[in-house]
Structure 1
């Protein structure tokens, strides 16, 4: 399955926004409201085996559901060539409510909520607790009933999984297991000198000052790579089958085969955050994390020509607060409770499939850009009973974008070596 073609789905999820951690009477909290929110998701049908695992992928802050496609393409190729068994049943990748395609679908509600919040004196922006409620609703869709769901979360989407499974009531029997990629967990009382606090504060400020408007996707791509004027000499305008000038009507280029990780540099060899990304991952970001805007000409201008440009689907004012420490703070006991409930032999969390579970697993970056060794030790101590750990060699914090092939290899190791065993799935060795 070198060229997986995902199905595009949009779900109307009935959920609640404005919940707060620790509030006993959440229905009385200012700004709390029951809403129907749109959720854009990609589904990769893999096997008809009902015993196989269903992977649910959630992206980090400022990313999008298509960001996992290069990793998924390699993982599915490994699944076919290496197992000859129904290890994976389906793969789902989900946009957070104010990210990617979901942001476009929810724009009217998101702007209305913020406006109402400004007038009434409460924060109307989405937070990670809203993401938790949203994720909880997604896990309850009929399409996932009876599935062994393995949650796979990167960076800032790890806390929503934790809150969803420990703080919110739920009736779904999920997950069977969790794989956390570079989990950003912060604890109450964390000093401001902690690298996570320093980076978080810098992101809160930096997001508000970064550029957020370009004349075209091609110009945005040049800016991301740090290229001043002209076309990228080291890059063509079309990479990996992704048309960087395409629309957001449907994911483009996702039928192309995945590529090995590579480093993007501008013509002078300079590096930016995005220049370290895999080629296809960067093109998917330009295609799906940005949206085209067409504004009609306004009187009294002499010209009747409309203006058009591209901008991020996640607005600056929505993105900035998501990096605040409070958004990723959990009680250590909360992590312990989640991990213990998913420990094989524990009997499983309430409603788990056949009472069985496959544990919590962690994948770390090789380069300590955001999470230091001491921080890892602190997180692991709070989690108490992590079943396995992996390190993706040479990668920084943004593993899905920097080394999707390395991430796919690590995920397959965890799925085959641990979770499949807990699920009773027989995985054959490659021929």
Structure 2
């Protein structure tokens, strides 16, 4: 069982003053004394992909804490996991719906990154070390959340980038000239079905179609619960019955347009790789991130040297949704790479 607590914090005034939505997950044994030999007490901060929501991470978090219970070690303890919605997604999107109705440009990566810094600069994190974990566009945002920090005073002790989607300018130029997954994603979002008569009807509709039919059933249940909201909304003020997407189609499309954020993230990643451990996790099925893009992200010749690169089997780009147990095992192994040797040296 998890102790699950929601937090709402005020966002940066320079970005519009929207509200920020977080969920903190702690294991039920979190109040128990920590073994004195566990020198690293970790807070994990996780970010989702475009068109997703913070609760998508919950099954992965559950598996991670199960691993900590069944395979305890004296090297480190994960005290908590903080998950955050992008300010225009899911619960945060509902809180800020009126603000974003007339803001089709949505939230840029650096604006979401500054929102992450609100948590980092609070007194809410319990661990003595913080691990940054981002999926897809969330990986880029995690990198950008280090902007403004000197390299010797970074807010994180390590990074785990899950299926990151950053591209070089050259790869992006070629992507615009071809029928790529990136361009198709925008077209799909533009015509996406976004109204159902009820959550029950939506739960029947999703598993019959891609990508939802590939998802873990728990993740799909959470999607129906948290990625949908009741009508009416500022987008559909005259629809009084049924549910719609909490992340509107317009806001989803804006999420696929942060290319400058991706370029900046790759540049910043060079400095981070030379300073703290950075790890990548990719999925075995290259259904979204082409091999060329992956190789550019982990290019040692460009200065982006990863401490480790892990592949999760039986999953595609939406690995958080498709194989939460496999992803948790990958994260658990990476935490041992960084924090078990540290304990041995102390």
User: 2:251 is matched with which residue?
Assistant: 318
- Measure the CA separation in 2 of the matches of 1:320 and 1:109: 17
- Measure the CA separation in 2 of the matches of 1:334 and 1:425: 31
In the alignment, is the contact (CA less than 8 A) between 1:361 and 1:414 conserved in 2?
Answer: yes
Alignment partner of 1:415: what SS?
helix
Unaligned runs of 5+ in 1: 18-34, 115-122, 227-270, 296-305, 343-358, 427-431
User: 1:238 is matched with which residue?
Assistant: none
Q: What CA deviation, in whole Å up to 9, does each residue of 1:346-405 have, x standing for no partner? A: xxxxxxxxxxxxx11111100111223332221111452210111101211100100001
Unaligned runs of 5+ in 2: 234-238
In the alignment, is the contact (CA less than 8 A) between 1:290 and 1:312 conserved in 2?
Answer: yes
User: 2:213 is matched with which residue?
Assistant: 275
2:192 to 210, 213, 216: 210
1:184 to 165, 181, 196: 165
Structure 1 residues 128 and 372: alpha-carbon distance in aligned structure 2, compared to 1, 3 A threshold: same
In the alignment, is the contact (CA less than 8 A) between 1:156 and 1:328 conserved in 2?
Answer: no
User: 2:9 is matched with which residue?
Assistant: 11
Extract structure 1 runs of 4+ deviating beyond 6 A.
none
RMSD: 2.6
In the alignment, is the contact (CA less than 8 A) between 1:133 and 1:168 conserved in 2?
Answer: no
- Measure the CA separation in 2 of the matches of 1:158 and 1:149: 15
2:138 to 148, 154, 157: 157
Worse overlay, 5-14 or 66-75: 5-14
In the alignment, is the contact (CA less than 8 A) between 1:51 and 1:425 conserved in 2?
Answer: no
User: 1:424 is matched with which residue?
Assistant: 343
TM-score, normalised by the number of residues in structure 1 = 0.70
- Measure the CA separation in 2 of the matches of 1:312 and 1:383: 40
- Measure the CA separation in 2 of the matches of 1:111 and 1:190: 32
**1:175 counterpart = 2:173:** no
Worse overlay, 171-180 or 75-84: 171-180
In the alignment, is the contact (CA less than 8 A) between 1:294 and 1:308 conserved in 2?
Answer: yes
What are the within-5 Å matches in structure 2 for residues 23-422 of structure 1?
A: 35-46=16-27, 47=30, 49=34, 51-85=40-74, 86-111=76-101, 114=103, 124-144=105-125, 147-165=128-146, 167-168=147-148, 173-194=154-175, 198-226=180-208, 272-294=210-232, 307-324=240-257, 326=259, 328-331=261-264, 332-342=266-276, 359-381=277-299, 382=302, 384-416=304-336, 418-421=337-340
- Measure the CA separation in 2 of the matches of 1:145 and 1:7: 14
Alignment partner of 2:195: what SS?
coil
- Measure the CA separation in 1 of the matches of 2:90 and 2:60: 18
Cα drift, residue 424 of structure 1:
2.8
Count residues in correspondence.
Answer: 327
